[in-house]
Amino acid sequence: MTPRRRVLTAFARRQPDRVPIDYTANPEITAGLKAHFGLDAADDEGLLKALGVDFRMVGAPYVGPKRHADHGDVRADEWGRRRRWVEHGTGGYWDYCDWPLRDATVADIEAWALPDPDDYDYAAVADQCARYGDYFIACGGDGCGDIINSNGMLRTMAQTLIDLATDEPAGLRLVDRRLEIQFEILRRTLEAGRGRIDLMRIGEDLGTQIGPLIGLDLFRRHIRPRHQRFVDLAEQYGIGVMIHSCGSSSWAFDDFIDMGIAVVDTLQPEAKDMAPAYLKRRFGQRLAFHGMMSTAGPVAYGSVDDVVANVRATLETMMPGGGYALAPTHALQSNSPIENVVAMYAAAAEFGQYGAADPD
């Protein structure tokens, strides 16, 4: 099977020739893997091929003006989110360090500079699609359609949750201004892809490790109807939607299914009601899954043998009948030994083979 056919088959909950594979990691892991495989530091495509990755992402790069000024070591992006580089034991992060809309009024929100959909280079999308040939191509991302995290980056997480619980007009206006822009960017991206894009990715972190982050009533009041527009847009282009949701999020999966979402991503197995066997049994006939290789599990803290055993056990649970793509639960973190990451992908290739693919 081509990578594209392999993923389409798996996401249709049928058995492909092998389990599809995806990759996401922090820069330190990517650099270490390139060194391991003897690749040039800029050879991203070579790394994906070395790992057997079936997925490719496309998007329109931002080419608009600098709308928000940097201040010293604080960098601002086109949305006005402010970050500073913070070192840690094995690398570093561009961490959010200031929340300029924490106390904003509706008038402040209306005046806040946000990007225009015209500020993106959609011609690049067609070029990317042509370059990726028979790979499975997705657009969007974990921050597309995202309400809680993305508002939290400008208003603080606490204020964002208060906004949703109290129907605060300023917070909700920020949500809608952002999502209108993202919606139009995605629409133009799909147009530029000319039928070659296979999946829309959206996101919303809905859980902690021990339970829901918000209640189902709040999800249905503020998040589900806004996400439904993105799902409907994908349906207009004949493609499915995968939603990224960290933590204990299976409480929302029935709603995802009702909305028409086809695939759920992340699937942190250590979180409440997120164990592979539970998800497969409870939702495996109605959803496909992408993820489940915990970045806080054996790949970070175990031995190579632990990693291989974890991959094999997960595949034995998730493979039957298709419906599963192996991927990290989030970006592989820089505390993961490179040999463990290599072992994870090697084990996926070895133990992810089906005896025979389902016929088309």
Mean pLDDT value across residues 1-16:
98
pLDDT at residue 303 greater than cutoff 90: yes
The mean pLDDT value of the chain amounts to 97
Q: Is residue 100 included in any domain, yes or no?
A: no
pLDDT at residue 359 greater than cutoff 90: no
Q: Is residue 293 included in any domain, yes or no?
A: yes
Count: domains in the chain:
1
314-338 pLDDT, tens per residue? Answer: 999 999 999 999 999 999 999 999 9
pLDDT at residue 360 greater than cutoff 80: no
Q: Is residue 334 included in any domain, yes or no?
A: yes
Strand order in the sheet with 74-76: 74-76, 82-88, 91-98
Mean pLDDT value across residues 224-248:
98
Mean pLDDT value across residues 218-247:
98
Q: Is residue 269 included in any domain, yes or no?
A: yes
Phi, psi of 13 (to 5 degrees): 60, 45
- pLDDT of the residue at 357: 87
Q: How many CB atoms lie within 10 A of CB 126?
A: 15
- pLDDT of the residue at 249: 98
39-72 pLDDT, tens per residue? Answer: 999 999 999 999 999 999 999 999 999 999 999 9
Q: Is residue 249 included in any domain, yes or no?
A: yes
Local structure of 353: helix, strand or coil: strand
Local structure of 85: helix, strand or coil: strand
Q: Is residue 45 included in any domain, yes or no?
A: yes
What CATH number is given to the structural domain containing 258?
3.20.20.210
Count of helix runs (H) and strand runs (E) in the chain: 15, 10
Residue 240, domain extent: 3-65+110-351
DSSP of 282-301, one letter per residue?
HHTTT-EEEEEE-TTTHHHH
Q: Is residue 76 included in any domain, yes or no?
A: no
132-141 pLDDT, tens per residue? Answer: 999 999 999 9
Integer-rounded Cα Rg, in Å, for the chain is 20
**138 pairs with which residues across the strands?**
57, 199
150-193 pLDDT, tens per residue? Answer: 999 999 999 999 999 999 999 999 999 999 999 999 999 999 99
Mean pLDDT value across residues 3-22:
98
Residues 290 and 138: beta-carbon distance below 8 Å: no
Displacement of CA 143 from its chain's centroid (Å): 7
Residue from 278, 285, 205, 189 nearest 239 by CA: 189
**243 pairs with which residues across the strands?**
202, 264
Residue 355's pLDDT band, with cuts at 50, 70 and 90, is confident
Residues 74 and 98: beta-carbon distance below 8 Å: yes
Q: Is residue 197 included in any domain, yes or no?
A: yes
Global pTM? 0.97
Mean pLDDT value across residues 113-131:
98
